[in-house]
Chain A
Amino acid sequence: MIEIRVRKILEARGGDFTLDVDLELQEGEFITLYGPSGSGKTSLLRSLAGLLTPDKGRISKGGKVWFDSKERVHMPPQKRNVGYVFQENALFPNMTVRGNLQFAQKKGAPPGLIEELIVDMDLHDLQDRYPDTLSGGQKQRASLARALAQQPDILLLDEPLAALDGVMRLKLQEYILSSHRKFKLTTLMVSHDLAEIIKLSDTTILLDKGRISKMGTPQQVFMGNKLSGKFQFTGTLLELEVQSVITVASVLIGNQIVKVAAHPTEVEGLSPGDKVVVASKAFNPVIYKIEEK
């Protein structure tokens, strides 16, 4: 169990606010942090990694104290064994991809680990290249592999996929989820993408102005318990088109635009740009073949 009780006054463009968080995380879970920018998500990750010193509070993992303002304990980041994937990837420009991985590796690491990560993350053709010559997605793959090469107990991901396009994003989500399971990590990830959060996380924390406004499974957090539908997809509402008795809503789900016919009362209060869920109560699901085996 990881206990985090942290208070820290943060300077932000819109004025100072206090990060005030009290939570317990189960080890082995995949946790996502969601909230508007400047709500303290990154500061929470940094406090956990030891890169930011809270004003007050206590952080402990499995009974071991990492930080305690009363006891004046502050374990340096070097001793916490936390893997951190930075938003801007932070690959060392003076080392090749393989060099970056080797640098991160601890003494006494299993001999085949780097090879394994290079295969897992599809880095074989890139391993001798320098970070400057890689694309955004390649850099984040290398950065993720590097964080795993240090065999962390906790993996912290600060919006690692923010700058990537749809296809690359989906691919990296798979990498992250499979590594989380394979290496039995406790993972905390900052994300702004609802579909991503629902796909990956066991627990979602909604952070607003430094405080936790909601916490639970993604379904609990984002949908309440209003729906009992079997099929659910999250997407962005693109436009509403009124046609005689019905309204047609165009929703972007993943890479597809889906048109949903709805009664005008159902779409009341919705406007383009909203995040929406498209669900079907599966009384009579239609099933058809899309590809011969």
Chain B
Amino acid sequence: MNWDPLILTFELALTTTLVLLLVSIPLAYWLSKTRSGLKPFLETLVSMPLVLPPTVLGFYFLLAFSPNNAFGAWIDEWLGIRLVFSFGGLVLASVVYSLPFMVQPIQTGLSSLPPSLSEAAATMGKSASTQLFKILLPNIRKSLLTGIVLSFAHTVGEFGVVLMIGGNIPGKTRVASIAIYDEVEALNYAAANSYSLILFALTFVLLLSVYLINGGYVNRFWK
């Protein structure tokens, strides 16, 4: 069996999750605190990937990043990055595609904390970033875990966006979900089955671990 698609899938999911964590914490923090009129619009944009067909997202990415296009040509020329049919493009598209899975749990977690926690820290002279890292985030560990695991699993499972913007280049953009489609088309059911089984087992274990940890089963077992 060719392991490349699986390895690529995990590289993509891992990179996407890390980037998402860096992007989503400040974004969710801002959303949980702001009273700006922009908030509903931003929340809508963040949630769009939940309902939009992935092909729509992929289609617009393809148009935007194409070197035949002003924007695509500009990043190609000035940054030397080609986002179409490349790993970088896949990461960017996956980050947008899985954004709600990371932002929403963190935002809900932050909003559920009483405001007096940050206020108490503020009267103690602590800055907003100290409040965030020492008080707020440590108290929403469950939400962070949910966000991390859901975005990882969701990226593993993506198909439409990747196919649109990444295509099917072996070792470069052919992730497991596309490899399965490919093998089925070639009537190679055994290979398709092994990829599928691995993905099935992996996502099951990932989600189960979230429920076990957040449900307190693991803590009870250790105590």
Contacts and interface: CB of A to CB of B under 8 A. Distances in A.
Interface residues of A, number: 23
A84 B114 CA distance: 15
B117 interface: yes
A10 B123 CA distance: 22
Give the dominant DSSP class at A's interface: loop
A84 B123 CA distance: 7
A104 interface: yes
Interface stretch (A75-83, A170-178, A211-219, A227-235): A75-83
B116 A93 contact: no
A44 to B, nearest CB: 15
B134 A82 contact: no
B139 interface: yes
A106 B125 contact: yes
B54 to A, nearest CB: 38
Categorize the interface residue count of chain B.
10 to 19
A88 B124 contact: no
A76 B116 contact: no
Contact of B123 (A51, A92, A94): A51
Contact of A78 (B114, B117, B122, B135): B122
A183 interface: no
Closest 3 CB pairs of A and B: A90-B116, A94-B138, A90-B120
Given A86-B116, A150-B123, 4 more contacts: A78-B123, A86-B119, A88-B116, A92-B120
25 contacts: A50-B123, A51-B119, A51-B123, A76-B122, A77-B119, A77-B122, A78-B122, A80-B123, A82-B123, A88-B116, A90-B119, A90-B120, A92-B117, A92-B121, A92-B135, A92-B139, A94-B138, A103-B121, A103-B126, A103-B134, A104-B124, A106-B125, A146-B120, A150-B123, A150-B124
